[in-house]
Homo-oligomer: A and B are copies of this chain.
Amino acid sequence: MKSLYLEDFRPGDRFESPGITMTEGAIIDFALHFDSQPIHMDREAAKESMYGGLIASGIHTIAVTFRALLMTGLLANNLGSPGFDELRWLRPVRPGDTLRAIAEVLEVRPSSSRADRGSVRFKCTTLNQQGEPVQTVICNQMLRRRPADAEP
């Protein structure tokens, strides 16, 4: 795969990641570290909840989504992110669900102050194995422009 720079992106470009399966073990481990609420780590309490069973922390879902995005090559020349917008959790993620991320480029903007970079805004949708969206988020990433000595 060739390394993608800022000028390689156009609005409408679409990237799709491989899948990542959310095991019950990973869901509970993540919860133990970062989101220790019963619906994320107590199988018995979760059964009695409005969700009817364990569900992944939304923070876990965004973390796995980011891992999936990295696998698309979209962020090969990433310099960082000023932030994300409109993070929405649409459906529960349950043990055994396999997630993949679809990124669609919304906007590409060269920096007005720095000639070597620019920003890409994209919408990232996380789907489960049924193709149902479980999360959407608008990401902004600062990417390098192609240096003069890079492969074209």
What residues make up the interface of A, taking CB atoms closer than 8 Å to B?
33-37, 39, 50-51, 57-59, 62-64, 66-67, 70, 75, 78-89
Contact = CB atoms under 8 A, between A and B. Distances in A.
Contact of A84 (B37, B50, B79, B87): B87
B78 A83 contact: no
Contacts of A33: 63, 67
Contact of A59 (B66, B79, B80, B89): B66
A34 B59 CA distance: 11
A37 B80 CA distance: 10
- Count the copies: 2
Contacts of A64: 34
A134 to B, nearest CB: 12
B70 A37 contact: yes
Contacts of A86: 83, 85
B50 A34 contact: no
Nearest to A35: B66
Given A36-B70, A87-B87, 15 more contacts: A33-B67, A34-B63, A34-B66, A35-B63, A35-B70, A37-B75, A58-B81, A59-B62, A59-B63, A59-B66, A83-B87, A83-B88, A83-B89, A85-B85, A85-B87
